[in-house]
Amino acid sequence: MDMRGNGNEIISSQSGMWQEFEVLSLSGDENIIEIEQTDTWNEFKIGSLRGNENEIDVSQDGSRNIITFTDIAGDDNEIKLDQEGSNNAIESGLFDGSFNEVTVNQIGDENLATTELMGDNNELTAMQVGNTNEAYMGVIGSNNEFTVTQVSDFNSVHLANFNGSNNDVNLTQAGDENAILVQSSYPDVSLTSNDNDIDVNQVGNQNEAIVTLAGILDSNSNQIDIAQNGDINLVDMMVEGSGHSVDISQEGFGNWVIGTDDSAFLLGGENVAFNVTQTGNDNIVEGAVIGFNSTVSVTQLGDGNTTTITQM
């Protein structure tokens, strides 16, 4: 432990055998670190914490849980980490900026959460209850709020907002082997993605929702609501431009919203409202809305329905 500054407070309680607690080079003012590790072989490491008024609360209950931070910088950051099972891991390689708040709660075994922050006023919350859940978050920008809740087993959430500001994303998964991937202005597109509101709710087994907000154009002021209930549902989209409102609800077994020729569903242009409701089995909606001031609504009830959409 290497510590400098004033008003720092460290409280530690370790109960089992082979517990590790390591802070190398904490520097700044009014930092508070509280650690409680109960069983055996738990680790907690911080490398080079800088700044002031940071508060870190770590509680590990099981065995062989690992929390690792490397190089945290900024002001008024609050981090709360709780792992109750065994072989859980939380990693963060970057924490920079101010007014960031990170809360991770993992209860089962072998869960993995990775958080990277850069910017202002970001709030990230992840709760994983089952076993072998995996969540990744990344932020560059300001005023972002991310919430991930995974309840069952083998769920995976990848959220990368490496740009933009004022994004609000709420992701909820319940069931088995669900996967959500949300990225903004992917792969680069001059790193502009603003005012997005994305809400994804998946209940059931083997659901997958992939939303990519930009591939060629920048992506601004998008609202995307995706709700899937049932088994083996799939939503795949590429969103371009600005001012989009997309609402997709799927219920049943094996519903798809895809793109033509197995490519991603593409929304391009400006001020596009896209609304899909599917109830039943084996419904398919295929792809591409390109242009501006377009409105598309698809409602399918029953089994084996197919809709192909092309607007230029």
Residue-range domain boundaries for the chain = 1-139
Cα 40 from chain centroid (whole Å): 30
> Is the predicted pLDDT of residue 251 greater than 90, yes or no?
yes
- Kindly report, residue by residue over 91-139, the tens digit of the pLDDT: 987 788 888 899 999 999 999 999 888 888 989 999 999 998 899 988 8
Report yes or no: 237 and 257 within 8 Å, Cβ to Cβ.
yes
Closest CA to 143 of 188, 94, 182, 197: 197
Which residues, including other chains, have CB under 8 Å from residue 76's CB and lie 6 or more apart? 52, 53, 54, 98, 99, 100
Pairing of strands 265-267, 234-239: parallel
- Kindly report, residue by residue over 201-227, the tens digit of the pLDDT: 999 988 999 998 876 777 788 899 999
pLDDT band, very low/low/confident/very high, at 37 (cuts 50, 70, 90): confident
pLDDT at 191: 62
Which residues, including other chains, have CB under 8 Å from residue 284's CB and lie 6 or more apart? 255, 256, 258, 305, 306, 307
> Is the predicted pLDDT of residue 256 greater than 70, yes or no?
yes
Percentage of residues of the chain with pLDDT beyond 70: 96
Closest CA to 100 of 70, 128, 71, 79: 79
Spell out the alpha helix ranges (H) of 42-161. none
